[in-house]
Amino acid sequence: MTAGEAYNQFDPELIARRVKIRKALQTINQTPDNDTRNHAIRALLADSGPDFFVESEFKFDYGFNIHIGDHFYGNYDITLLDTCPITIGDHCYFGPGIGLYTPVHPITAAERNADVELGAPITIGNSCWFGGHVTVCPGVTLGNRVVVGAGSVVTKSFGDDVVIAGNPARVIRKIQQ
């Protein structure tokens, strides 16, 4: 699964991990103390930098595929579907309602009906800023210093120093450093 190979999403081991994470996040997301909540979330992730802050309703499937750099801020209602690795660089800021989705569902009905699922990793560079309600699709890599406009759906990869927006997202401006 983590390598992007076909897997059965209803595998008992995967279901058990999702249930464990769901139960933990149900309690953690209701914790009003920021330090306690963020420490508990960090303990469920593969790794994150020490300066890590998320608001409540931070959700993910497994945690072991999530790698977040230092100086991360995530606003309310962040969803990371981590079938494959999700890597987020340093100094990244996410607005509310962000979704990073690594699962890839087959196009053909026969494969979907057979519960075949794949995944593709998502990589976000350093110093990126996402406006509210951004969706990032499987297999996307964003370079450093990328700004993603609110409501965008990112379906393909982009390099450094661009502002992207729209559905599908496209470059609307280059950033001069």
In the chain, pLDDT over 90 holds for what percent of residues? 87
The label of the residue with tokens 């699964």 reads 1
Mean pLDDT of the region 18-42: 97
Q: Catalytic amino acids?
A: 105
Region 98-108: what's the mean pLDDT? 94
Q: Phi/psi at 75 (nearest 5 deg)?
A: -75, -170
pTM score, whole prediction: 0.95
Distance CA 176, CA 173 (A): 9
What's the maximum distance between 2 C-alpha atoms anywhere in the chain?
50
Q: What are the pLDDT digits (tens) for 147-161?
A: 999 999 999 999 999
* Residue position matching structure tokens 């790794």: 47
